[in-house]
Amino acid sequence: MQSSLSTRLRAFAAGAAQPTVEELAAALDSTFPLAELLTIGEEPRVQFFGKKIQVHILDNIRNGHCPEDCGYCAQRKSASAEEIPAYSLKQEEEILKEAEQAYKSGAYRFCLVTSGTGPTEKQTIKYAELVKKIKERFPMRLCLSAGIIKDPKFAEMLAEAGLDRYNHNLNTSAEHTPAIVRTHNFDDRVRTIEHMKRAGVSVCSGVIVGMGESNQDIASVAVRLKELDVPSIPVNFFLPVPGHEIDNLRELSSEFCLRTLAIFRIANPTAEIRVAAGREIYLKDKQAEALRVANSLFVSGYLNVKGSDAAETYSMIRANGYQVDAETSDMDPELCKSGSIDQNAMIDSIEMKTRADLRAFAE
């Protein structure tokens, strides 16, 4: 059985067969050797990305004030004012200063993230203007995550502005979606991806693991993203933020997180696989192992949760023989210098971002 599954996984990784939910779910089980799974996943990672790591920086440009009830999110409509520092859309100059900082720190991609169900026409026009200005000043890739796109016209407006990529995660399987959110459905998310693709904008869509889902649910997302031909896949490990509303949390071990990253790589061999939220907490000193199959990560934390800073992350990348994939010509040498760090000293508990963290350039 193990030999047969190994053969099939290698076929998926080589693009010689379409991945199946059942076989990917079987690879998540502890009975399949982790070392073999990582070796299988490492082959396409090296083939298509070598030893390069893409570094992404998030900018939370609007926090809270969200009508959605996503149980995993600190910005959901039932979140109290004490749990997160809510604010409306940041001023343009504030966002431009944050973009400049990201550019100078060697970010491959700068990701603008805003709360809410999805943009209105007026908001879409504003986002399009921001995209144009950032792209004119800082030649780095730009991503926007602004929720559900219901009108294909909005996708076309963002495309015309020069947006490189739109993020909208599937988060979990169609079957498990009603357990984590009731204000929208799985098909809304799929349609958003399809609208952006038809407009000519690349898409980023991934998963959150640890919300009470089954192995089949996780594998189902990996297969669905393959079917949607998604080129960028963030793999998030659920961070139980204060006041979350997820029942039956799944206990995550570093080994299971590595298995999850491996099956997403195997199912999507040419895609950018990103070690996203939770890597410091769950992977700890196994982060370098994760880079055997993943070729991308976030630095300086996530939407509302702190993570390791840029210097620590760059040091970890360099110390383990990888190179930062950056097109920036004036990278801050202090952030990119080689070195080593005590990875066991990474944060081991959830620490929420303060208003000062989220708005370093606020007047």
70 belongs to the catalytic site:
yes
How many domains is the chain built from?
1
Q: Other CB atoms closer than 10 Å to residue 148's CB: what's the count?
A: 16
Q: Does residue 363 lie within any of the structural domains? A: no
The pLDDT value recorded for residue 339 is 40
Which is it for the CA torsion 87, 88, 94, 99, positive or negative?
Answer: positive
Buried residues in 159-187 as b, exposed as e (16+ CB within 10 A): bebebbbbbbbbbbbbebbebbbeebebe
User: Is 72 inside a domain boundary?
Assistant: yes
Residue of 111, 279, 292, 359 marked catalytic: 111
Q: Does residue 193 lie in a domain region?
A: yes
CA distance 197 to 201: 5
* pLDDT tens-digit map of 292-305: 999 998 875 555 55
Nearest Cα neighbor of 181 from 194, 169, 163 is: 169
Work out the angle at residue 95's Cα, subtended by the Cα atoms of residues 93 and 96, and round it to the nearest 5 degrees: 60
Spot the catalytic one: 8, 45, 62, 73: 73
143 is known as an active-site residue? yes
Q: What is the CATH number of the domain that holds 154?
A: 3.20.20.70
**Beta-sheet pairing, 165-167 with 109-114:** unpaired
Decide: 156 and 199 in contact? Cβ < 8 Å. yes
Among the listed residues 76, 274, 292, 359, the single catalytic one is 274
Q: Which domain holds residue 153?
A: 2-358
- What does each of the 363 residues of the chain score in pLDDT, given as a tens digit? 577 999 999 999 999 999 999 999 999 999 999 999 999 999 999 999 999 998 877 777 766 667 777 767 766 655 554 566 676 788 888 889 888 888 887 777 788 888 778 899 999 999 999 999 999 998 888 899 999 999 999 999 999 999 999 999 999 999 999 998 888 899 999 999 999 999 999 999 999 999 999 999 999 999 999 999 999 999 999 888 776 677 788 889 999 999 999 999 999 999 999 999 888 889 988 999 999 999 998 875 555 555 566 777 888 888 999 988 864 444 444 444 444 334 344 345 566 555 555 556 565
Two structure tokens written together for 215: 């192995």
Per-residue pLDDT, 80: 52
Determine the Cα–Cα distance for residues 166 and 146; give it in Å rounded to an integer: 8
Does residue 217 lie in a domain region? yes
Domain membership flag for residue 198: yes
In a domain, 21, yes or no: yes
Whether 204 sits among the annotated catalytic residues: the reply is yes
Which candidate in 62, 76, 109, 143 is catalytic? Answer: 143
Q: Is the dihedral angle over the CA atoms 318, 321, 325, 328 positive or is it negative?
A: positive
d(CA 222, CA 43): 18
| Residue from 62, 189, 204, 259 carrying the catalytic annotation | 204
111 is catalytic: yes
CA distance 125 to 119: 9
pLDDT (0 to 100) of residue 99: 87
Query: What is the DSSP-derived secondary structure letter of residue 234?
Result: E
Distance of CA 200 to the CA centre of its chain: 21
Q: What pLDDT is recorded for position 189?
A: 95
Residue 73 a catalytic site member: yes
Residue 15 lies in a domain: yes
Q: Does a structural domain hold residue 220?
A: yes
Catalytic-residue membership of 66: yes
Catalytic residue among 8, 45, 62, 70: 70
Q: Do 272 and 296 contact (CB within 8 A), yes or no?
A: yes
The reply to whether 336 belongs to the active site is no
| Helix %, strand %, coil % of the chain (to 5) | 40, 15, 45
The token pair that represents 290 in the structure block: 């994760």
Q: Is 208 helix (H, G, I), strand (E, B) or coil?
A: strand
